Chain A
Amino acid sequence: MNFLDLIWLIPIIPLIGAAAMLLFGRKLSKSAISIICPGAVGASFALSIGAVMQLASLPEKAHQVILYPWLPLLKADMGYLLDPLSSVMILVVTGIGFLIHVYATGYMAHEHGPRHGGFYRFFGYLNLFVFFMLTLVLANNYALLFVGWEGVGLCSYLLIGFYFHKKSAGDAGKKAFIVNRIGDAGFILGMFFLFQLTGSLKFTEVNEVLRSARFGPEAGVFGLLSLTALLLFIGATGKSAQIPLYTWLPDAMEGPTPVSALIHAATMVTAGVYMCARSNALFSLTPETSHIVAAVGAATAIFAASIGLVQNDIKRVLAYSTVSQLGFMFVAVGVGAYWVAVFHLYTHAFFKALLFLGSGSVIHAMSGEQDMRKMGGLKDKIPVTFRTMFIGSLAIAGIPGLAGFFSKDEILWQAYSNPVLGSKILWAVGLCTAAMTAFYMWRLMFMTFYGEGRMDEHTKHHIHESPKSMTVPLMVLAGGSVCAGWIGMPKVFGENGFMQALEHWLAPVFESGKEVAHAAAGHAAEAAHHDTTTEWVLMGLSIGAALAGILLARHVYLRLKESERPSGGVLYPVLYNKWYVDELYDFLFVNGLSLGGGGLMAKFDREVVDGGVNGTAWMTRLISRISMWYDTWIVDGAVNLGAFSVRAMSYPVRFFQTGFIQSYALVFLAGVLAIFGYYWWVH
């Protein structure tokens, strides 16, 4: 079977699942939904594996399927491109997506939600999200990518605001949507410029034009190419929660935990990284923008990690951690190590999905409590969750051998060693962040699982391990968090086809970028490469940083009593209040604009922004009203019509299907006469 020509099915199957849920979900039992929706994603995963295996045997390592010309003016087809980069993405999206769907069947089992529609609505949105995400990563042009880009934003909005009766959830959904719209404006502009520059929006054609002699690297100047790349990067900062547009992501934790794991950790938020990697030919022509990307990435990494140090809500720690890890990926993009960015994206998907799902399991056990100050001592009560999260925390902290170590270390090494784009400062910031990461993750582990239980008696009584549907995905993800990094080991460990499999696999995609970067770098570059002693020393330092972070957390949260812990002085309230950025934004954009811009801005603010406050609730209510109407008039109507027409049809059937052979022969004869009559009429 030729899976490569069927890649269009990969996004379509979850779409069918979503349509089935939103059209007939109300009529389906929970067990049916629990089979259909994860099954749809699982089927996409199976198709993806088949397609990727066949892709590996193609010499050109790329395959396009064009369904039909869609926007001929922009040279954008309804077309899909499977190449090494999108193959990694579809495997992550469908594979991890499948596990999270399975987990969600257990996690959402008690969900009734408004109008008893919570369960099917949730899975319908989740499948719809997978459809848009797969469209995003399989698109063969920027326009179709943007369709997916907007679509995942919409689904994220619907899912963050899933508990729309909670006001904070509605607000968070609104915030995510509006902040993302700001980023999208940058993306649209960037896309427009790119089309003006290259005359196409198709990835292959854009890359070809950018690689041609018409364009040289804009070293030392900030020209049109740099501006285009910067605009695209602004789009990425929105979706991937980078400074200054990161504020929506921590608030997005209002959504159900499987949503946080799937959308706000493993897949959607990495779309910005994917898009920049996809545009590598452009970014490698623009060292000035690349410097900005790396700087923003590094700043976000350390800034978010610092906030993560003191948060008490278990999901918020993980949310800031995600922002910080995304920062790492952008450092890699900024220093031109695109494959490393994808590598970290891929390992991060495993351990961060694991940690989020694990935290969901903890919350499940704690009867909904998210405050780590009220946890503790859960180690023996929920052993599977504990053990898997233990592995995940080791992986993210960067303990050698586990997935996070290889990808993070490669980013640090590239930041250190790239002669043009790298710098020692980037490396130092990264190292500090790594130490902080180890600290806040193990603070989370010690506060949650070790020491005395600090919950009330009622909660304590109810603590239980989660069902199999939740723990099995955790175990699979834990396996991934251990092994996923082995296909991207540093060359100093030895060189062979397996240990650098990912780099070789992705090489064709970043070939164009590499050539241009080499031109930009001149010839000074090569010497700095492969200074093995330095690499070993740096690796030792980052292992040291990780261990130091873990040991410090152990000392503070396991050895010291609560009263003996260092207070952190003035820094604590600053960090705890997230550097007051939300307040600053409120002041600047909400108060400032309404004061400065006068009536118009105030009106805008009141009608548009405040309107958005209730937007989630409104929209969900609207959808549920439409679906009520649809259920009453269309589904029930169709069922009734179906019953009616079946009854109506049964008269002729009963009339003729008498069982008497004479009447059969009569019908037979009537058929013969009808055919003869037809020919008689024709002639």
Chain B
Amino acid sequence: MKTLDQIKQTMRRDRVFDFMVSTGTHPVHRGEIDTSHGPILYVENINVSFDGFKALNDLTLYIDDGELRCIIGPNGAGKTTMMDVLTGKTRPDSGTAYFGQSMDLTRMTEHEIASSGIGRKFQKPTIFPEHTVFENLELAMNMDKGVWASLQFKLTGEQKTRIEEVMQTINLVQQCHTAAGRLSHGQKQWLEIGMLITQEPRLLLVDEPVAGMTHQEIEHTAELLTGLAGKHSVVVVEHDMDFIRSIAKKVTVLHEGHVLAEGDMDTIQNDPRVIEVYLGE
């Protein structure tokens, strides 16, 4: 009887076989992101463990379209692992991560995720040191990124203007033809943010954007990120509490791979559990 049941299950007419559902190799076009229910990112019950260490423990999180969300948490809370899962670098042991309502991030490769509209800034500024600032922005720019298209690529006037605009936004016009490796640490951080802007993602994942910046640079970065929210959804992971206070409307606290608390800055700061694990330190 058990076998019969199984066959019945398999033959159910309302069911679609797993292999028929879009897999990682399914071409994903931009603009297909379905945010009709509000959230742009659905992270549900994600578990990741490395050699027995639970980096993410039943993590559930929703990011609204156009929202600027800050994620804080002590070291080892799973912030970077969460970014790795969302960008396809790490596969979760279980759980789902949907971009819009239709795109399953846990089945897509890094470049598919990137071209579907998720941009990522690394913790350590990662730019292309041998390329000039202009070329860095050009490489990141939103366009056909296939081999053949790149071989034939010609920069249009429109794209050039766009890159110049972004260089102005990130204060690097003077350094246009400087090799990016020669920039200061803060400038590299900005260049990476600039690359995110030319990439035109719907969702930006920004890992510690103000690490190693001077006070003035931090202020400018705060302006940049708040300016991006609205048109894009932005998730910022940061340690600098002053910085977070200056930009955040809604804050999520991660602890041991799990959401500990969520709410505006005041609620968070007065939450006894948060004080115990994080602010109390």
A and B: interacting chains: no
